[in-house]
Structure 1
Amino acid sequence: MPINPKDEVVQERSAVPDHLIDGGHAHATESSLHAEDTGYHKNLKPRQIQMIAIGGAIGTGLFLGAGGRLAEAGPSLVIAYAVCGFFAFLILRALGELVLHRPSSGSFVSYAREFFGEKAAFVSGW
């Protein structure tokens, strides 16, 4: 500790705020620090894990396969991807407007059921 000319001991101020030194968490409560003790558990079924794995494999295959397709098709493939992406954007934007217009706890199938009927809900859910 440095001493000033008057022989008084001066404490250095830390750059770290005191509330971070004490508990390590600025806004954490005692119960949230021990979340593993509150009964959380793994709840994914094997079917859900398989679907996640299949989705990852399909996504990787599409990404890696795009290089070969791009070599064969040329720049028209980029244009086709852009057009499909634009339509996906429009669909998701319309779904977002539906969510703001009529909030629902269900999925997009509930909107198809409400606006188009049971058959459209079945088709969109399948």
Structure 2
Amino acid sequence: MKIKLGTILMYASDLVQTERYYSILLRQKPSFSNQDVVMFDVGGQELLFHQDPHEFSGLLAGLEKESVRGKGIIIHFIVEDINSEYERLIGEGFQISMGPTSQSFGRRQIYLYDCNGYNVVVEQIMA
């Protein structure tokens, strides 16, 4: 039996801002949106943002106070032309934290933090 990756869920402090941010980044509107969630179909993979609870509990206690979220987790989006994407994102007002940078493993990447504090990579796979 083959295992397939399911929905990727990330918490969002502001769903309206998150929807706007990812609509620009991904060049598409959400596949679903309501007052609790915003979902994007990214190449057949569901990326779901859920509104933060007022206060996190259990293992997530205090998450609402963090400015950088998902420590150790970085979401990657693949594009065909990283230089064009870099220029487009700069033009849209995105703050790039690194890049474009060529990596030893055959990828050219830009790093940025999204509006919720998640580390995001936009990359081109080099031939």
| TM-score interval, smaller chain | under 0.3
- Of structures 1 and 2, the one scoring higher in RCO (CA 8 A, sep 6+) is 2
Normalising by structure 2, we get a TM-score of 0.24
- Which is strand-richer, 1 or 2? 2
